[in-house]
Amino acid sequence: MKTELTPPKWVQIFVILLLIWNLIGVFAFVSDVLLDPSTLDQIQQDFRANFPLWTKIVYGLAVGLGSFGTFGLFLRKSWSKNVLAISLICVIIQMYHSMFIAGAIETFGVSIAKLPTVVVILSLTLVWIAQLYRRKGWFI
């Protein structure tokens, strides 16, 4: 008889909260893609012009894989670790481009980096949690 190890409730609740966070990211991505640029002021329009198509693809992968991987983590699937790692790479590429190549900090000031910093930290946290699941034998 195999004994199934399960993560503590607080970890499960945290994963659910991170899943909700990622789903909000999907909503933000869809909103960004559907946004009519004419509703923005000239500074925001000029800033958006600094984002080629590949950055939008990386953004979509970051939030899509993040949501999918977090859902996999909720289901305790071992593949979620790799999906979340790929999502983290996409997050880092996207945020680096936005902050330093596209010039978000120069355009809007250093305070604009708060949300990207939180996103990177939470993405790192998800990968760490997935590693914790592996080490503790919580995957099924």
In a domain, 12, yes or no: no
Q: Is the pLDDT of residue 129 over 60?
A: yes
Classify residue 4: in a domain, yes or no.
no
**Three-point CA angle 134, 7, 88, nearest 5°:** 50
Question: Does 11 map to a domain?
Answer: no
Give the pLDDT confidence of 82-113 residue by residue, as tens digits: 999 999 999 999 999 999 999 999 999 999 99
Residue 101 forms part of a structural domain: yes
The residue range of the domain holding 48 is 19-136
Number of structural domains found in the chain: 1
Residue 1 pLDDT greater than 50, yes or no:
no
Residue 81 included in any domain: yes
Does residue 86 sit within a domain?
yes
Q: Tell whether 9 is covered by a domain.
A: no
* pLDDT over 90 percentage in the chain: 95
How does residue 65 score in pLDDT terms, banded at 50, 70 and 90?
Answer: very high
Answer whether residue 8 is part of any domain: no
Residue-wise pLDDT tens digits, 18-53: 999 999 999 999 999 999 999 999 999 999 999 999
At residue 16, the pLDDT reads 98
Q: Which of residues 92 and 3 earns the better pLDDT score?
A: 92
